[in-house]
């Protein structure tokens, strides 16, 4: 591992524009399970079933069943950022990371102090009123405390929707996320199986033009073959700490 550490530190020092891409795997050490891992919801329930429910059409047609499911499986426990989140925030402060493009909806990068965060799937701590004239925003405690399964807007009575990208919806920050990734000189992907599009597509596009892609992930990803360095680790927080200590 020390050879890999040396190589990555060297690449970070030389790179003028390092962008980090993160997925669910960066938050498992903080206590939020990923979807495809051993305890993940896809493994337990099957990906097709989940996709059929966490879906904008299903939400509109059957908000009661949507929320029964969403409350059980998608309202994450209140956790603090893990070491990995703090290390990435420190890398930004020290000038070694320009931005984080994340698929995560847990807001943990922002909580850890990262400033340049581009979330493409939204923020699960926020809920928005779906009434077009209203669109009032609520935090998740309002929804957790709501006595009914479907949470309603206290101003207009509209149904609230989690401010996350459901299947069938456009991702947020499409242009910004793609540009940041394609402009990077060094791209470091952490904790993503790289199976979720379009973000995985931006990474693929980057890897066809540029060589400097590093993947830190427990288990294989769809783009391992395109990485100059693949680190297969489940102790991402400790690994990033060692990097930061050498920068
Ligand atoms: P994924 O579940 O497809 O892949 C996560 C990867 O991280 C897996 O390959 C897993 O082996 C790896 N991993 C797990 N623990 C790790 C660790 N400690 N260090 C390094 N790697 C680790 O996740 P994805 O590609 O991000 O896509 C899943 C989708 O699920 C995204 O759309 C995302 O929005 C959503 N999601 C988000 C959260 C969150 O916000 N924390 C959690 C679950 C799912």
pTM: 0.95
How many Å lie between the centroid of ligand 1 and the Cα of residue 101? 14
- Predicted confidence (pLDDT) per residue in 125-165, tens digit: 999 999 999 999 999 999 999 999 999 999 999 999 999 99
Atom of ligand 1 nearest to the CA of 216: 20
Pocket test for ligand 1, best of 28, 34, 163, 233 (most atoms within 8 A of CB): 34
How many Å lie between the centroid of ligand 1 and the Cα of residue 236? 13
Query: From CA 161, how far away is CA 187, in angstroms rounded?
Result: 33
- Predicted confidence (pLDDT) per residue in 191-234, tens digit: 999 999 999 999 999 999 877 999 999 999 999 999 999 999 88
Domains of the chain by range and CATH? Answer: 1-32+81-121+169-247 (3.40.50.1220)
Query: From CA 212, how far away is CA 65, in angstroms rounded?
Result: 45
121 is catalytic: yes
Lowest mean pLDDT among 40-49, 74-83, 130-139, 183-192: 40-49
Q: Are 149 and 116 in contact (CB under 8 A)?
A: no
Atom of ligand 1 nearest to the CA of 104: 40
């Amino acid at each position: 591992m020390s050879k890999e550490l040396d190589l990555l530190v060297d690449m970070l020092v030389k790179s003028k524009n390092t962008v980090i891409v993160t997925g669910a795997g960066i938050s498992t050490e903080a206590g939020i399970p990923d979807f495809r891992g051993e305890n993940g919801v896809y493994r337990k329930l099957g990906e097709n079933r989940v996709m059929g429910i966490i879906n904008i059409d299903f939400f509109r047609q059957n908000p009661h069943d949507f929320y029964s499911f969403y409350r059980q499986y998608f309202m994450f426990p209140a956790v603090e950022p893990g070491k990995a989140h703090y290390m990435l925030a420190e890398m930004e402060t020290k000038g070694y990371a320009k931005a984080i493009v994340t698929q995560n909806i847990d807001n943990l990068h922002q909580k850890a102090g990262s400033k340049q965060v581009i979330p493409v799937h939204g923020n699960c701590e926020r809920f928005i009123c779906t009434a077009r004239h209203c669109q009032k925003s609520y935090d998740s405690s309002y929804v957790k405390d709501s006595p009914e399964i479907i949470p309603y807007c206290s101003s207009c009575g509209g149904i609230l929707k989690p401010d996350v990208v459901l299947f069938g919806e456009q991702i947020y920050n499409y242009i910004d996320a793609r540009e940041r990734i394609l402009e990077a000189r060094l791209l470091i992907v952490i904790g993503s199986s790289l199976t979720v599009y379009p973000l995985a597509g931006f990474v693929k596009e980057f890897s066809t033009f540029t060589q400097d892609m590093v993947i830190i992930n427990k288990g294989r990803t769809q783009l391992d073959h395109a990485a100059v360095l693949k680190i297969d680790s489940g102790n991402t927080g400790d690994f990033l700490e060692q990097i930061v200590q050498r920068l």
